[in-house]
């Protein structure tokens, strides 16, 4: 079997040297255990955080340990009566081709319900993140305006489409004209602004003001940086900001330092929260996994009948994972970033 380990911690953006490919003997399942081959590996922005040593909501990946990650795989040997050879499961063995498990915490997947890869995107952790962040912390109401960054990514795609289905005006922010056209033409967003075309937060703010004539009631925070600076002054009184992620700062090194180009925006930001009586609420998707069945009941049919659209960017082979993660952190993905580790 093959695996990719964390070889060293990055200083700023990760480089290929931070990863190392290793070949190991194929593990053998013991009594009550199963051997799973990985089909799909999910690449996600949180992986950048796990490469740093600093404290966070989850422990860092140790140097020399397998990079973490969610996967979909197939059982190829079973000593466990609950699993048969051929079953599809989701698992968290990380960046590797095979893994052994006692089956605890593994979810069996039905390839008839949706393509297997969708269980790592729209019907998986990112979809659930959008659902929980929007509905629990965003508290959307018909007629309100929502802004979401990384709008064509795994989470943003779902946030915007779920909000549209509830009658909100949805304005996305994405990198480049192709992504923006996809957001409006395919995902049905009302507008999408290209943050790469706006050279300053002020330019983006002007464009956002035009796209949000009634102000912003919900800012679903995926990116921080220029987008946050542009949207904050447009927030309506009693607006909500579910803080899901701040990807524009993940490669900054010591999150946040140097991110505001030498200016201290904290006083202005803090005061805006006070004056506008904003609800600003950080959340981690795992806080809400008790609602996963409800999420699947609602979103599963929407995916099946095409009311929810999604895209995937696929890197071929486990060896391609480091470069694909490096690219994801710079916006190189268009939709959910996956690695095809073995045949579907
Ligand atoms: P995406 O599929 O959206 O991929 C990341 C995207 O981020 C890129 O494609 C790029 O899109 C955008 N991006 C990268 N750099 C910048 C930048 N400097 N400024 C603005 N946008 C940038 O990833 P996910 O949907 O998986 O994740 C989206 C966010 O949600 C992340 O912040 C992630 O950490 C967070 N998250 C949080 C969870 C939680 O439990 N709180 C769970 C899952 C995700 P573009 O080219 O359009 O700029």
Distance from the CA of 333 to the center of ligand 1, in angstroms?
A: 10
pLDDT category at 259 given cuts 50, 70, 90 is very low
pLDDT at 256 over 50: no
Instruction: Specify the pLDDT at position 113.
Output: 86
Distances (CA, A) of 212 to 192, 244, 290, 299: 11, 21, 34, 27
* Ligand 1: residue whose CA is nearest its atom 19: 248
pLDDT in tens, 3-16: 999 999 999 999 99
pLDDT category at 344 given cuts 50, 70, 90 is confident
* Range of lowest pLDDT (125-134, 242-251, 320-329): 242-251
Kindly report, as residue ranges, where domains of CATH 3.40.50.720 are found in the chain.
125-286
Instruction: Specify the pLDDT at position 261.
Output: 53
* Range of lowest pLDDT (92-101, 270-279, 291-300, 317-326): 270-279
Who contacts 119 (Cβ-Cβ below 8 Å, separation ≥6)? Answer: 72, 90, 109
pTM of the model as a whole: 0.95
Binding-site residues, ligand 1, Cβ < 6 A: 44-46, 126, 129, 149-150, 152-156, 174-175, 179, 195, 222-223, 225, 227, 244-245, 247-248, 283-285, 328, 331, 333, 336-337
pLDDT in tens, 138-182: 999 999 999 999 999 999 999 999 999 999 999 999 999 999 999
Distance from the CA of 29 to the center of ligand 1, in angstroms?
A: 36
Nearest-atom index, ligand 1, CA of 336:
2
> What would be the CATH architecture of the domain defined by 125-286?
3-Layer(aba) Sandwich (3.40)
Question: Residue 300 has which token pair?
Answer: 């599963």
pLDDT in tens, 47-79: 999 999 977 888 999 999 999 999 999 999 999
Instruction: Specify the pLDDT at position 272.
Output: 84
| Higher-pLDDT residue of 225, 334 | 334
Contact 118, 312 (CB under 8 A): no
pLDDT in tens, 83-110: 999 999 999 999 999 999 999 999 999 9
- The separation between the first and the last C-alpha atoms of the chain, rounded to the nearest angstrom, is 18
Instruction: Specify the pLDDT at position 165.
Output: 97
Distance from the CA of 129 to the center of ligand 1, in angstroms?
A: 12
Distances (CA, A) of 142 to 191, 217, 297: 17, 11, 22
Distance from the CA of 45 to the center of ligand 1, in angstroms?
A: 6
Instruction: Specify the pLDDT at position 69.
Output: 98
Which residue among 150, 156, 174 is best mutated to probe the pocket of ligand 1, counting the most ligand atoms within 8 A of its Cβ?
150
Instruction: Specify the pLDDT at position 258.
Output: 44
Which alpha helices (DSSP H) does 27-153 contain, by range?
A: 46-50, 125-132
Query: How many Å separate Cα 107 from the centre of its chain?
Result: 20
Q: What is the DSSP string of 83-122?
A: --TT-EEEE---SBSEEEE-STT-EEE-TTTS-GGGGGTT
Mean pLDDT value of segment 244-273: 74
Instruction: Specify the pLDDT at position 198.
Output: 85
> What would be the CATH architecture of the domain defined by 2-120+311-340?
Alpha-Beta Complex (3.90)
* Ligand 1: residue whose CA is nearest its atom 29: 222
Distance from the CA of 30 to the center of ligand 1, in angstroms?
A: 39
Distance from the CA of 38 to the center of ligand 1, in angstroms?
A: 24
Distance from the CA of 277 to the center of ligand 1, in angstroms?
A: 26
| Higher-pLDDT residue of 198, 78 | 78
Nearest-atom index, ligand 1, CA of 287:
40
* Ligand 1: residue whose CA is nearest its atom 4: 153
Kindly report, as residue ranges, where domains of CATH 3.90.180.10 are found in the chain.
2-120+311-340
Report the alpha-carbon angle 204-205-208, nearest 5.
85
**What mean pLDDT value characterizes the chain?**
94
Distance from the CA of 245 to the center of ligand 1, in angstroms?
A: 7
Instruction: Specify the pLDDT at position 253.
Output: 62
Nearest-atom index, ligand 1, CA of 174:
47
Which residue among 314, 331, 336 is best mutated to probe the pocket of ligand 1, counting the most ligand atoms within 8 A of its Cβ?
331
* Range of lowest pLDDT (78-82, 95-99, 272-276, 296-300): 272-276
Q: What is the DSSP letter of 130?
A: H
Question: Residue 136 has which token pair?
Answer: 């629990």
Instruction: Specify the pLDDT at position 31.
Output: 98
Which alpha helices (DSSP H) does 215-311 contain, by range?
A: 225-231, 266-275, 292-304
Instruction: Specify the pLDDT at position 257.
Output: 42
Instruction: Specify the pLDDT at position 263.
Output: 64
Nearest-atom index, ligand 1, CA of 333:
9
pLDDT at 255 over 60: no
């Amino acid at each position: 079997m093959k695996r990719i380990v964390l070889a060293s911690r990055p200083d700023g953006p990760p480089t290929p040297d931070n990863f190392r490919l290793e070949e190991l003997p194929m593990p053998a399942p013991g009594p009550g255990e199963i051997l799973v081959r990985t089909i799909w590996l999910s690449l996600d922005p949180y992986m950048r955080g796990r490469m740093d040593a600093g404290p966070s909501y989850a422990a860092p990946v140790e140097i020399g340990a397998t990079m973490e990650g969610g996967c979909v795989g197939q059982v190829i040997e079973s000593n466990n009566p609950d699993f048969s050879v051929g079953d599809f499961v989701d698992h968290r063995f990380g960046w590797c081709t095979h893994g052994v498990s006692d089956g605890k915490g593994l979810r069996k997947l039905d390839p008839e319900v949706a393509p297997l890869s969708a269980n790592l995107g729209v019907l998986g952790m990112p979809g659930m993140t959008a659902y929980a962040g929007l509905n629990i912390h965003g508290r959307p109401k018909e007629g309100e305006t929502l802004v979401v960054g990384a709008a064509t990514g795994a989470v943003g795609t779902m946030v915007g489409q779920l909000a549209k289905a509830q009658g909100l005006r949805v304005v996305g922010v994405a990198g480049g004209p192709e992504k923006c056209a996809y957001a409006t033409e395919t995902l049905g967003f009302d507008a999408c602004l290209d943050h790469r075309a706006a050279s300053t937060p002020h330019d983006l703010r002007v464009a956002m003001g035009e796209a949000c004539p009634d102000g912003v009631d919900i800012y679903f925070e995926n990116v921080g940086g220029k987008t946050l600076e542009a949207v904050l002054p447009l927030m309506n009184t009693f607006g909500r900001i579910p803080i899901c992620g701040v990807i524009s700062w993940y490669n900054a090194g010591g999150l946040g330092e140097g991110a505001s180009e030498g200016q201290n925006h904290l006083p202005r930001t803090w005061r805006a929260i006070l004056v506008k009586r904003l609800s600003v609420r950080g959340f981690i998707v795992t806080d809400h996994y008790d609602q996963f069945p409800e999420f699947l009941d609602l979103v599963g049919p929407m995916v099946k009948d095409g009311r929810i659209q999604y895209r995937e960017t696929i890197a071929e082979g486990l060896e391609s994972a480091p470069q694909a993660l490096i690219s994801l952190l710079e916006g190189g993905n268009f939709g959910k970033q996956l690695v095809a580790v073995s045949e579907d």
